[in-house]
Chains A and B, each alone.
Chain A
Amino acid sequence: MSVRPQARPSGPKPPFWRDRAKRALLFQAVLIAGVAAFLLYIIGNTQDNLAARGITTGFGFLTNTAGFGIVQSLIDYSSQSTYARTFIVGLLNTLLVSALGVLAATIIGFTVGIARLSPNWLIARLASGYIEIFRNIPLLLQIFFWYFAVLQALPSPRQSHAFGETLFLNVRGLYLPEPQFLSGFGLIPGAFVVAIVASIALVIWNRRRHDATGKRLPAGWLSACLIVGLPLAVLVITGVPVTWEMPELTGFNFRGGITVIPEFLALWLALSIYTASFIAEIVRSGIQAIPHGQTEAAQALSLPQGLVLRLVIIPQALRVIIPPLTSQYLNLIKNSSLATAIGYPDLVSVFAGTTLNQTGQAIEVIAMTMAVYLTISLLVSLFMNWFNARVALVER
């Protein structure tokens, strides 16, 4: 007996609200109309309000003179500069503290995360104590603690803590010696680039040779020596064309050298320590996610312990670690905006804070600030997705 497809039931066609495709169309049309009506309503209100307050819209204010100084800037800046330059200075400061924060948080986080898995009971407990303490206290509170309770309680410049007469720490900040590059120093970055290119070539050649003959050189060590050794050799040959400008106490303050302002130190410490506690948990769960059988199988193949880690455990653990790690990096970048609470001149502080108050251009300023963070989020997730795809490929 064959099954015949049943004919459509005859009779009147179902009403259009029973037809799924038409209903979806209708629903989406209603949604678009609703969103559009809401936006129009808001835009209308905003225009009325702006007219009532006499604020003109537009980005013309960016070319006006800012008229206020910024305590830390990576590019030339004075109170005569424009608001556009203020924006750039703030953006660079945000990027600076985020980049250094990501670096420090990664180092602390990986160390603590691995220590958390240590067979040593005391070390594992210390690591989990670190994690539980720092991730359960609000970041802003930690920033305040470092800034108001620790760094503001440091002695005045005359009584500053000195570390070997080169580093000075006092209430005004941390003073470091600044390198002064003499002529002929340009060769050293050149040597560095040459060393990197050479070691990449070495690694590729070594891999081909390994595939073809089964022999391999310790390429990692060789390239490390190359990258460190070649610039050092050039440095010595050219007669060390660097002098260090030491910070010196003149009058009531230090002159010369590099000054790290206390706002930066507090923000950087708090961001790194706080984020590291989350990264440590991610690293721990990533390593624990690899079944023990993997280690045992690798050992059964008589791989040495170092290669077990490098070829078996880490590539698989990274695949688990990287997605949550990315979101922690993004959190750190977004959290760097808390700078405004202690006056570190980041984007939110100098642009969405001071500039907004001076110009009253709320909409433009907030939109630009949000656009910056959205762009950073987007770029970091794109990069991390690319990296993640690579790691995933290495695994299979």
Chain B
Amino acid sequence: MTHNETVIPERPAPRLTVGPLAWLRANLFSGPVNSLFTLLGLYLLYLLLTPAIQWALIDADWIGTSRDDCSREGACWVFVNARLGQFVYGLYPGGEIWRINLMFATFAALLAWLAIPRLPFKRWVAPVTLVAFPVFAYVLLYGGHFGLPVVETHRWGGLSLTLILATVGMVAALPIGIVLALGRRSQMPIVRSVCVVFIEFWRGVPLITILFMASVMLPLFLPTGMTIDRLVRALIGITLFQSAYMAEVVRGGLQAIPRGQEEAAAALGMGYWQRMGLIVLPQALKMMIPGIVNTFISLFKDTTLVMIIGLFDLLGIVQAALSDSRWLGFAVEGYVFAALMFWIFCFSMSRYSQYLEKKLHTGHKR
């Protein structure tokens, strides 16, 4: 008896199990209920997207200088175009805008240096960013030295003010947050309770009441005759608020470090600050980075509240432009523009934080 050695030729897989058709069947039309949901979803998408695209792109006016150029049914982007300078730089004098640009270009370069893993000398760039750069930025923006004319803070505004508020609030809050978090984990009961009360107080009240307090009560706390700038008052409020949230992020990072690390360091004869500064915090900081980015995103969105105490951040200046009698009736365009700006910043930061989370997680995967 001989075996039949011929191999049956491979046949293609059934048509409905591979390719785009199979994907459609598995993901969109796997059953009657699912098919119904898909159709409903498509209809909803159609209802939302067609008028939106029609309004924002097809029927929109793009070019022009005044509202007379907005003759068509759709959006009037001419309004945003005409006001773009104000939306970005506030009322900063036109001839001095290079100072803001230079400041942000330097900042972006420093940040990029820190964010791209391959570049060397991070050990030196980080302290320059945290210590030397703020001084440089202040001198550049406020002026008064090196022949730069003074630009009062009430002329600052727009997107640049939003970025300044968020960044300064964050950078100032981080060291306070670290100290508070260490205090909250301390063995000393009084230190611990002072830190807990401080953190829970600022976390328990809305930012808006803190800003009210900073603008109304802070002048009362100072010696008579002494006044501080409105922007600085807002910054103090934001920093106090943010430091409490930062403390909780830092505490989470510290809790993730096994106790053995600190005990091993103590066994080597290290003191408290050596243990914290050389062993615990460097490890904890790595774990905290996604949390820090997330609190930065919420702070970035919360800076819009400063318009309630009379500062013109991006939303504040858009709101002010909407009440300009030459450009009445373009509220939707203004809000859509502001929303898009905020969205781009927040979304890209949250994607970066997710990327970091994935990247930093690899060390702990089992």
Binding site for B on A (CB under 8 A): 24, 27-28, 31-32, 35, 42, 45-46, 48-50, 52, 118-123, 126, 132-133, 135-141, 144-145, 148-149, 152-153, 334-335, 337-338, 340-341, 348, 352, 356, 362-363, 366, 369-370, 373-374, 377-378
Given contacts A49-B224, A144-B315, contact A31 B191 (CB under 8 A): yes
Interface string of B183-194 (1 = CB under 8 A from A): 000011111001
Contacts of B343 on A, CB cut-off 8 Å? Answer: 133, 136-137
Report the Cα distance A180→B216, complex, angstroms. Answer: 46
Binding site for A on B (CB under 8 A): 27-28, 30, 34, 37-38, 41-42, 44-45, 187-191, 194, 201, 203-209, 212-213, 216-217, 219-224, 297, 301-302, 304-305, 307-308, 315, 319, 322, 331-332, 335, 338-339, 342-343, 346-347, 350
- For residue B145, give the distance in angstroms from its CB to the closest CB of chain A: 31
9 sample A-B contacts, Cβ–Cβ < 8 Å, listed by A number: A27-B188, A48-B223, A122-B27, A122-B38, A137-B346, A138-B301, A138-B304, A356-B216, A369-B209
Given contacts A45-B222, A122-B28, contact A337 B342 (CB under 8 A): no
Contact B194 A27, beta carbon cutoff 8 Å:
no
Contact A118 B188, beta carbon cutoff 8 Å:
no
Contact B335 A144, beta carbon cutoff 8 Å:
yes
- For residue A280, give the distance in angstroms from its CB to the closest CB of chain B: 15
Report the Cα distance A152→B335, complex, angstroms. Answer: 14
Given contacts A132-B347, A366-B217, contact A352 B37 (CB under 8 A): no
| Known contacts A337-B208, A340-B208, A348-B209; 5 further A-B pairs (Cβ under 8 A) | A31-B190, A120-B34, A149-B331, A363-B220, A373-B209
8 tightest A-B contacts by CB? Answer: A136-B346, A121-B27, A334-B206, A138-B301, A377-B204, A28-B190, A337-B206, A374-B204
Contact A148 B208, beta carbon cutoff 8 Å:
no
- For residue B314, give the distance in angstroms from its CB to the closest CB of chain A: 9
Contacts of A123 on B, CB cut-off 8 Å? Answer: 37-38, 41
Contacts of B209 on A, CB cut-off 8 Å? Answer: 337, 348, 352, 366, 369-370, 373
Q: In the complex, what residue of chain A is closest to B323 when comparing beta carbons?
A: A148
Contacts of B347 on A, CB cut-off 8 Å? Answer: 132, 136
Contact B302 A138, beta carbon cutoff 8 Å:
yes
Contacts of B194 on A, CB cut-off 8 Å? Answer: 31, 35
Report how many A-B pairs have Cβ atoms within 8 Å.
146
Contact A120 B28, beta carbon cutoff 8 Å:
yes
Q: In the complex, what residue of chain A is closest to B335 when comparing beta carbons?
A: A145
Contact A362 B216, beta carbon cutoff 8 Å:
yes
Contact A141 B190, beta carbon cutoff 8 Å:
no
Report the Cα distance A48→B219, complex, angstroms. Answer: 12
Contacts of A50 on B, CB cut-off 8 Å? Answer: 220
Report the Cα distance A334→B219, complex, angstroms. Answer: 25
Given contacts A118-B37, A126-B41, A370-B209, contact A32 B220 (CB under 8 A): no
Contact A120 B315, beta carbon cutoff 8 Å:
no
Report the Cα distance A385→B24, complex, angstroms. Answer: 45
- For residue B123, give the distance in angstroms from its CB to the closest CB of chain A: 31
Contact A366 B191, beta carbon cutoff 8 Å:
no
Contacts of A122 on B, CB cut-off 8 Å? Answer: 27-28, 37-38, 41-42, 45
Contact B42 A136, beta carbon cutoff 8 Å:
no
Given contacts A45-B224, A120-B34, contact A370 B188 (CB under 8 A): no
Contacts of A138 on B, CB cut-off 8 Å? Answer: 301-302, 304, 315, 342
